[in-house]
């Protein structure tokens, strides 16, 4: 982290602040921008004019204004020129979206995921990403946010491990995609993307999110910030039960082993279902205590079967949370993952604007 900030850094921070204020307000006057940001009239005007010049914002007549004299205009985000792309790379399938700087989803995309090795998996990703970019090449693409399943080093843009792909190891996915697509690419762990989308308009609460499919990913917010750290929140191969069922990693009793068995036997083997619900409930409670969380969000592909296990999971969980201090939310659908990836890329794009 820099120990100093020069004029160039300060200019970028102010520009980012101005554009974020306009995005959040939806429409705002120049005076209000100056008041909210604390910038001088001259400093604000310089930034606003540059944002007009680059096509990030536009000005409309303020129809609500009354009185004599010049009618001040209202400034809004330009919604039809700039786009950011989001991609969700998951072994259950590929999902994409294009959004504008206002956060509105313009288009959605999907494709199946079939692979037996690293080469095939990488081919799937590049082909899908190229298709989504091509569909939006009539717009000004500012960046691409990628939600990656498995272990991720987002700072280095590396996908360390990917579930179900044994020869996938320390793949420089950011550099690979940037070389193929020729746009800035930002890589993030998929549960972090989902949680970022969930808390975007409601930050502040300590929250733990579990994305549950045949594997499990975890994301955490503390004081409104999504925790970052390579391998910090990897729980898939933590011990769910001593001497439990065998996992593909070679250990016994992993949380992931129980999830895989659950997804394959949810309608038949009642003992597996009961054991899995106990393992998940213990994990939920332990993590809520570690991070002093008041909310737990269960999300992911397993939520398709929410009606099957919601009541039993809650009954098991309340054996530990006896005072019912923790709010548990079941979030059906995975669209928050790709939307969160896109929103992270939006912020990265805004922060990189040169004035």
Residue 104 covered by a domain: yes
Dihedral sign for Cα 278, 280, 282, 285, please: negative
Question: Taking 60 as the threshold, does the pLDDT of residue 70 lie above it?
Answer: no
Q: How far apart are CA 137 and CA 58, in angstroms?
A: 22
> Per mean pLDDT, which range of 65-69, 102-106, 179-183, 198-202 is the poorest?
65-69
Q: How far apart are CA 263 and CA 74, in angstroms?
A: 52
* Same domain membership, residue 90 and residue 72: no
Question: Taking 90 as the threshold, does the pLDDT of residue 347 lie above it?
Answer: no
* Same domain membership, residue 246 and residue 175: no
* Same domain membership, residue 221 and residue 109: no
Q: What is the pLDDT of residue 67?
A: 54
Question: Taking 80 as the threshold, does the pLDDT of residue 232 lie above it?
Answer: no
Q: Which two tokens stand for residue 169?
A: 């190891």
Residue 179 covered by a domain: yes
**238 three-class SS:** coil
Q: Which two tokens stand for residue 261?
A: 């068995």
Burial call 203-217: b when 16+ CB within 10 Å, e when fewer: eeeebbbbbbbbbbb
* Same domain membership, residue 251 and residue 267: yes
* Same domain membership, residue 292 and residue 212: yes
- Give the pairing of strands 82-90 and 140-148: parallel
Q: Between these two residues, 329 and 198, which has the higher pLDDT value?
A: 329
Print the domain residue range for 71: 7-77
Residue 1 covered by a domain: no
* Same domain membership, residue 126 and residue 59: no
Final residue in a domain of this structure, among 56, 77, 98:
77
Q: What is the CATH number of the domain that holds 129?
A: 3.30.420.40
* Same domain membership, residue 209 and residue 124: no
Average of pLDDT values for 286-302? 89
Looking at the structure of the chain, the number of domains it has is 3
Question: Taking 90 as the threshold, does the pLDDT of residue 273 lie above it?
Answer: no
Question: Taking 80 as the threshold, does the pLDDT of residue 191 lie above it?
Answer: yes
Q: How far apart are CA 203 and CA 223, in angstroms?
A: 8
Q: Which two tokens stand for residue 185?
A: 């690419």
Mean pLDDT is highest, among 6-15, 145-154, 177-186, 280-289, for 177-186
Q: Between these two residues, 255 and 5, which has the higher pLDDT value?
A: 255
Q: What is the pLDDT of residue 65?
A: 54
Residue 98 covered by a domain: yes
* Same domain membership, residue 164 and residue 270: no
Average pLDDT across the chain, whole number: 84
Which strands make up the sheet holding 207-212, listed edge to edge?
225-226, 216-222, 207-212, 295-299, 327-330
Q: What is the pLDDT of residue 8?
A: 47
SS3 per-residue string spanning 224-252: CEECCCCCCCCCCCCECCCCCCECCCCCE
* Same domain membership, residue 256 and residue 148: no
Cα–Cα separations (whole angstroms), residue 211 to 8, 289, 301: 40, 19, 8
* Same domain membership, residue 258 and residue 216: yes
């Amino acid at each position: 982290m820099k120990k100093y900030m020069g004029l160039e850094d300060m200019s970028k921070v102010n520009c980012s602040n101005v554009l974020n204020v306009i995005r959040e307000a939806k429409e705002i006057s120049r005076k209000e921008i100056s008041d909210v940001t604390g910038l001088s009239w001259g400093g604000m005007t310089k930034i606003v004019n540059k944002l007009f010049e680059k096509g990030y914002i536009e000005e409309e007549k303020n129809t609500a204004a009354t009185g004599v004299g010049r009618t001040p205009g209202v400034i809004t985000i330009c919604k039809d020129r700039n786009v950011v792309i989001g991609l969700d790379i998951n072994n259950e399938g590929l999902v994409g979206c294009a959004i504008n700087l206002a956060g509105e989803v313009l288009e959605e995309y999907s494709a199946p995921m079939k692979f037996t090795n690293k080469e095939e998996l990488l081919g799937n990703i590049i082909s899908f990403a190229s298709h989504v970019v091509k569909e939006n090449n009539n717009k000004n693409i500012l960046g691409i946010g990628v939600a990656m399943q498995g272990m991720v080093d987002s700072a280095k843009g590396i996908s360390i491990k990917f579930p179900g792909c044994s020869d996938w190891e320390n793949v420089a996915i950011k550099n690979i995609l940037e070389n193929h697509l020729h746009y800035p690419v930002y890589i993030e762990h998929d549960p972090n993307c989902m949680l970022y989308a969930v808390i975007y308009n409601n930050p502040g609460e300590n929250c733990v999110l579990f994305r549950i499919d045949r594997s499990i990913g975890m994301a955490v917010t503390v004081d409104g910030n999504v925790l970052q750290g390579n391998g910090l929140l990897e729980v898939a191969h933590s011990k769910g039960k001593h001497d439990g069922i065998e996992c593909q990693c070679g250990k016994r009793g992993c949380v992931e082993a129980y999830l895989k068995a659950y997804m394959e036997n949810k309608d038949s083997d009642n003992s597996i279902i009961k054991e899995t619900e106990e393992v998940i409930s213990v994990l939920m409670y332990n993590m809520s205590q570690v991070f002093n969380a008041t909310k737990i969000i269960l999300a992911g592909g397993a939520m398709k079967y929410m009606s099957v296990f919601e009541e039993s999971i809650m009954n098991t969980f309340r054996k530990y949370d006896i005072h019912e201090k923790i709010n548990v939310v079941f979030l059906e659908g995975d669209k928050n993952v790709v939307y969160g990836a896109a929103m992270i890329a939006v912020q990265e794009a805004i922060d990189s604007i040169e004035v």
